[in-house]
């Protein structure tokens, strides 16, 4: 268990920007429920690549039942919380200025189609009114060890009764580690 992650983080520590290339591929998405145009929380989701998933499942699904339960789940969540030091690779901006979440926690983990997935609960440092402000969202690993790829359906999934009032606009990213940005605002 520790061996797998130690090797991963040692490799990450020594990766040079000029020689770095992704070793872990992650399908990523933000899920935002728009009950009202002011938001203070949302979810992030990851689905890890087959190779990484297989390694982690073999290491942490100790009873080989195809699910993480009890101590298995606790142990894997503890390992995944080490990504907190990297901000879970989330990139957020409020009206063009960097925004750091107040907290991010691993809400759930599971196995779907032999792939490890996880859900993150994100709490913003303040409530954001999407009628008067623009929230920009992206994922990216500045060390280029993790390739944070948006889902084919898009980086942001909106739900809730007011989601139709909100427009997620894709914007080109100039950062090497970011596929693209989504600028989210709502019109009434």
pLDDT tens, 53-112?
A: 999 999 999 999 999 999 999 999 999 999 999 999 999 999 999 999 999 999 999 999
According to DSSP, residue 65 is labeled S
Indicate if the pLDDT at residue 4 is higher than 60: no
Which range of residues forms the domain containing residue 132? 2-13+22-186
List all residues 6 or more positions away from 81 whose beta carbon is below 8 Å from its beta carbon: 105, 106
pLDDT of res. 34 = 96
Indicate if the pLDDT at residue 20 is higher than 70: no
- Residue 83 DSSP SS3: helix
Q: Which of 13-17, 34-38, 139-143, 169-173 has the lowest mean pLDDT?
A: 13-17
User: 137: burial class by Cβ within 10 Å (0-12, 13-18, 19+)?
Assistant: buried
Segment 99-104 long-range contacts (CB within 8 Å, at least 24 positions apart): 99/124, 99/125, 99/135, 100/125, 101/125, 104/44
CA-nearest of 156, 148, 1 to 72 is 1
Distance of CA 120 to the CA centre of its chain: 7
Give the whole-angstrom CA distance, residue 31 versus residue 182.
12
Tens of pLDDT along 109-138? 999 999 999 999 999 999 999 999 999 999
Number of domains in the chain: 1
pTM for the full predicted model: 0.85
Q: Decide: 144 and 17 in contact? Cβ < 8 Å.
A: yes
pLDDT of res. 14 = 42
């Amino acid at each position: 268990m520790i061996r797998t992650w130690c090797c991963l983080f040692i490799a990450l520590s020594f990766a040079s920007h000029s020689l770095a290339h992704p070793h872990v591929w992650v399908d990523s998405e933000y899920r935002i429920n728009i009950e009202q145009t002011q938001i203070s929380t949302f979810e992030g989701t990851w689905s890890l690549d087959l190779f990484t998933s297989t390694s982690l499942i073999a290491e942490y699904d100790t009873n080989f039942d195809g699910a993480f339960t009890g101590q298995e789940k606790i142990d894997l969540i503890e390992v995944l919380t080490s990504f907190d030091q990297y901000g879970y690779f989330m990139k957020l901006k409020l009206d063009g200025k960097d925004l750091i979440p107040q907290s991010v926690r691993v809400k759930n983990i599971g196995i779907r189609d032999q792939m490890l997935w996880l859900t993150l609960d994100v709490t913003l440092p303040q409530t954001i009114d999407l009628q008067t402000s623009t929230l920009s969202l992206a994922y990216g690993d500045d060390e280029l060890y993790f390739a944070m790829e948006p889902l084919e359906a898009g980086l942001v999934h909106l739900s809730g009764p007011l989601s139709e009032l909100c427009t997620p606009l894709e914007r080109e990213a100039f950062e090497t580690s970011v596929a693209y940005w989504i600028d989210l605002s709502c019109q009434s």
